Structure 1
Amino acid sequence: MVFLLLDLQRATHATLHRLTTELADLKLTPSELNALANLARHPAGACTVSELGAAAGTRPTTLTSILDRLEQRGLVSRGPHQRDRRTVVVRLTAPGTTVATRVLAAMADLERRALATLPPDAAGDAAAVLHALTEAAT
């Protein structure tokens, strides 16, 4: 047995440690970095809370406290959806966009360095494995 999950957990811990160290001046938790990065990947830096939760792999109650902290810092705003007022939309603010851009750049740089010595198709293979693990767990 390979135990990819143990390797994945170790890699996740190491990469989050590296990112929080590189971005220490932002004073953001790994969960906050994750939320900002996932929000930045949505068109116009906006999506529903449920879409963000699914993208970030975060439970709604956990995401609410993450968003509370990000909103207090002026990095995101929340408001009603234009067509469905029961749905909450989260948006990056201008400062949030600046921070999220920096977070994505740090992630891209770490990923680029990690994949530099691997064959070109390795990233696609890894993404397929991660997707399969996510699907099996949900």
Structure 2
Amino acid sequence: MLADGHGRTVSQLGAAVGTRPTTLTSVLDRLERRGHITRGTRAGDRRSVLVELTDSGRAAAAVITQTLTDLENRALEGLPAEAVAGFHAVLDALVKQGS
């Protein structure tokens, strides 16, 4: 979610992953301890916490993205192009429905 380079508030991250912001606290704590994220205040709203990736967080996100891409490619390997297109259409519909 943060790999696009845009910081998000804890509320935005919670909504994106379908959980309450309070549930994310321990995950964010671990990511921060490992140096993958920073938490700061949002310009114009000191009550909101803005979460951003660090350089090591961006590197980890790139590895995760590539791993998922490789996994998807292996899973879909050998399938007809129409089946792969249908699979992507279903995924796109699920993403839009969740937004």
Normalised by the shorter chain, which TM-score bucket? 0.7 to 0.9
TM-score, normalising length from structure 1?
A: 0.60
In structure 1, what is the Cα distance between the partners aligned to 2:42 and 2:94?
Answer: 34
5+ residue gaps, structure 1, are: 1-37
- Residues 1:87 and 2:52 aligned together: no
From the two aligned structures, give the one with the greater helix fraction.
1
Q: Which moved more, 1:59-68 or 1:111-120?
A: 111-120
Match of 2:59 among 76, 88, 98: 98
Q: Write the mapping of 1:38-53 to structure 2, written as runs, cut at 5 A.
A: 38-40=1-3, 42=4, 44-53=5-14
Deviation at 1:82, TM superposition (A): 0.9
In structure 1, what is the Cα distance between the partners aligned to 2:41 and 2:68?
Answer: 30
Deviation at 1:104, TM superposition (A): 1.1
Aligned length: 95
Change (3 A) 1:74 1:125: same
Change (3 A) 1:70 1:119: closer
Deviation at 1:96, TM superposition (A): 0.7
Deviation at 1:112, TM superposition (A): 2.6
TM-score, normalising length from structure 2?
A: 0.80
From the two aligned structures, give the one with the greater strand fraction.
2
Sequence identity percentage: 45
Contact 1:115 1:123 in 2 (8 A): no
1:80 partner SS: strand
5+ residue gaps, structure 2, are: none
Q: What RMSD over aligned residues (CA atoms) do the two structures have, in Å?
A: 2.0
